[in-house]
Structure 1
Amino acid sequence: MTNELHDVQADADDLRSSLVDLAALVTGARGLPELLQLVAVYAAKAIPGADGAGVTLLRIERPDNRVEALAASDPFVAEIDEIQYVTVNEGPCITAALERRTVRSGSLGGEKMWPRFGPRVGRLGIHSALSLPLLLPGQVVGAINVYARGKDVFDDHAQELGELFAAPAAVAVHNAHTLSQAIALTSQLQTALATRPVIDEAVGLLRSRTGVTSQEARERLREMSQREHVKMIDIAQHLVDEAVRRARARHTDG
């Protein structure tokens, strides 16, 4: 009984420590891949019996259950995720996300829920899995996948601790993903703002040379870009640079 109480206390301490680490993550200071990997590491620490864990961002509204991002605490987890998402497109994470419920297995090699996934993973020496959906109101962010080499490793206690960890983890992962998308959009807008003057100059050059409208000039730039397999901004920059070179040559000759 004393050992059991010690184990329960140790599990509670591990969960508490992992939640403290999770709360300390500052999404702005890390990229999405690094943050997801840290969440995976903390999950493996928080759930008793885990040999490794992975975090998946999964778009389940798409027919192919498209994976947006993956992270693993250990290389063997990455190998399992490759099987799940690329090779067979079935497994505990996909089930957990689609059905919005925790799923677990203690004998993956003979698991009937995933007849293609289970045997492949069992042959790798991984027999237990616990998958926890990352849920927000009205939304599935993805899932945490926890694996162990032994059979029947994850019991009700492990599942309870996993679900306690998954709730704040869903918020952290969602916030990190949202921030990552915002940063990418900002970068795209900055690029667009930086390239627009050059494209406008190229449009003006084409209009003065050919008498076409602004829309027709832009379409010509687009056609040149596609035909030459060169970015539109590079085509525009070349036209502007060439016009400047010719103007300077005429000035020198004069």
Structure 2
Amino acid sequence: MADYDAQLGREEPVERSAAQREADDVDLLAGLRGVTELVADSRTVAELLGDVAHFAAVAIPNVDGASTALVGEPFKVRAVTATADFVETIDKVQYDELREGPCLTCMLTGRVAVSGSLGSDDRWPHFGGRVARMDVHSALSLPLTVGGEVIGAINAYAKARDAFGEHAVVIGMQFAGSAAVSVYHAQLLNAARARTEQLQRALGSRAVIDQAIGIIRSRTGASAEQAFERLTQLSQQDNVKLVALAERMVDEAVRRARARHRS
């Protein structure tokens, strides 16, 4: 039996038939294949999260809409994607307005959270009633966990009551395990890409500053240290960033050289 945080007092839904379970396995395989074939290095994290939500809606039985969320600051959500407008509304109510709900509980505890009657679920009295009035009664939140750390969650919603039994929980946990790896790798690649771009900008800035220092030295005969000090002083006097001043100085030197060449 799967270990998950279930709504107290709710009975397990009627067990699915062999044919339904076989169809569920086919859907799970399609969802897993989709999420494992995502090429993370050609898409942003937000785009990948959207794909994960889409494949979750395919893989997990009885889903009317799904979303994914990433952990940000303590008890805050950093990024959210959803497959349906009503899910976007639910997520805004949960994360921005009420600060309670199955996803937040799931990310806080690291356990699957499931409800089959949100309107009577004592765990989220404000959220549950609000969502039930939207004619959405079932929720399933699955933690995205890597190395024992929760990095986000997948949320599935259904308008029917008791839509997610233990069978759906087990399938969801299988899907979430693979999805977590894809999301984690996308985050790593995104961070590495950002560091590379930052380094490239830093190297480019250093190169143009060195060129400006060379120009000052050629004009004044100053040492490298003296030329850099002079460039810094000019930057402060003109209230211009050092790299911007250096670029302006290099561009001016190039224009003068071209003018001399033409004459």
Aligned equivalents of 2:237, 2:29: Cα separation in 1 = 60
Distance 1:34 1:174, change over 3 A: same
Cα 1:113–1:235 shift into 2, 3 Å: farther
Gap change, CA 1:218 and 1:162, over 3 Å in 2:
farther
1:32 aligns with 2:42: no
The verdict on how the C-alpha distance between 1:80 and 1:232 changes in structure 2, with shifts beyond 3 A counting, is farther
> Relative to 1, partners in 2 of residues 1:45 and 1:54: Cα closer, same or farther, differing over 3 Å?
same
Indicate if the aligned counterparts of 1:221 and 1:236 stay in contact, CA closer than 8 A: no
Q: Distance in 1 between matches of 2:35 and 2:70?
A: 17
- After superposition, the Cα gap between the structure-2 partners of 1:28 and 1:245, relative to the gap in structure 1 and judged at 3 Å, is closer
Q: Does 1:23 align with 2:33?
A: no
**Is 1:173 matched up with 2:186?**
no
Higher relative contact order by CA 8 Å / sep ≥ 6: 1 or 2?
2
Segments of structure 2 that go 5 or more residues without pairing to the other structure are 1-13
Contact kept? 2:231, 2:242, Cα under 8 Å: no
Once the two structures are overlaid, the 10-residue window that deviates more, 233-242 or 180-189, is 233-242
Q: Aligned pair 1:128/2:125, yes or no?
A: no
Q: How does 1:209-224 map to 2 (within 5 A)?
A: 213=226, 216=229, 220=233, 223=236
Work out whether 1:88 is the aligned partner of 2:98: yes
Determine helix, strand or coil for the equivalent of 2:17: helix
- The equivalent of 1:5 in structure 2 is 18
Distance 2:231 2:246 in 1: 10
* Aligned partner of residue 112 in structure 1, secondary structure: coil
Identical amino acids, percent of aligned pairs? 44
Q: 1 CA distance for matches of 2:130 and 2:213? A: 58
TM-superposed deviation, 1:150: 1.8
Aligned equivalent of 1:65, options 57, 76, 81: 76
* Structure 1 position 144, deviation (Å): 0.5
Which is further off, 172-181 or 111-120?
Answer: 111-120
Aligned to 2:10: none
2:166 to 156, 161, 172: 156
| Change in 2 beyond 3 A, CA 1:248/1:65 | same
Alpha-carbon distance change, 234 to 83 in structure 1, aligned in 2, over 3 angstroms: farther
Shift of residue 49, structure 1, vs aligned partner: 0.9
How many residue pairs align between the two structures? 245
Question: What is the alpha-carbon root mean square deviation over aligned residues?
Answer: 3.1
Residue equivalent to 2:153: 143
* Cα offsets for 1:41-81 (capped at 9, x unmatched): 1111111111111111213xx335241x3222223222222
Q: CA deviation at 1:84?
A: 2.1
Partners of 1:224 and 1:235 within 8 A in 2: no
Question: Can you give the 5+ residue segments of structure 1 that lack an aligned partner in the other structure?
Answer: none
**What TM-score do you get using the length of structure 1 for normalisation?**
0.81
- 2:46 & 2:54 partners in 1: Cα distance? 12
Per-residue CA shift, 1:181-204, capped at 9, x if unaligned? 111221222222222222233456
Contact 1:134/1:144 (CA < 8 Å) preserved in 2?
yes
Letter of the 1:23 counterpart: T
Distance 1:217 1:139, change over 3 A: farther
* 8 Å Cα contact 1:132/1:166 also seen in 2: yes
Per the TM alignment, residue 178 of structure 1 is displaced from its structure 2 partner at its CA by 0.9
In 1, distance between residues paired with 2:81 and 2:96?
15
Aligned partner of residue 141 in structure 1, secondary structure: strand
SS of alignment partner, residue 162 of structure 2? coil
* C-alpha spacing 1:216/1:76, structure 2 compared with 1 (3 Å): farther
Contact 2:119 2:128 in 1 (8 A): yes
| Cα distance in 2 for residues equivalent to 1:221 and 1:118 | 62
Rounded Cα–Cα distance in structure 2 between residues aligned with 1:80 and 1:224 = 53
Instruction: Tell me, in whole angstroms, the C-alpha distance in 2 between the residues paired with 1:220 and 1:81.
Output: 52
Q: Does the Cα contact within 8 Å between 2:232 and 2:242 map onto a contact in 1? A: no
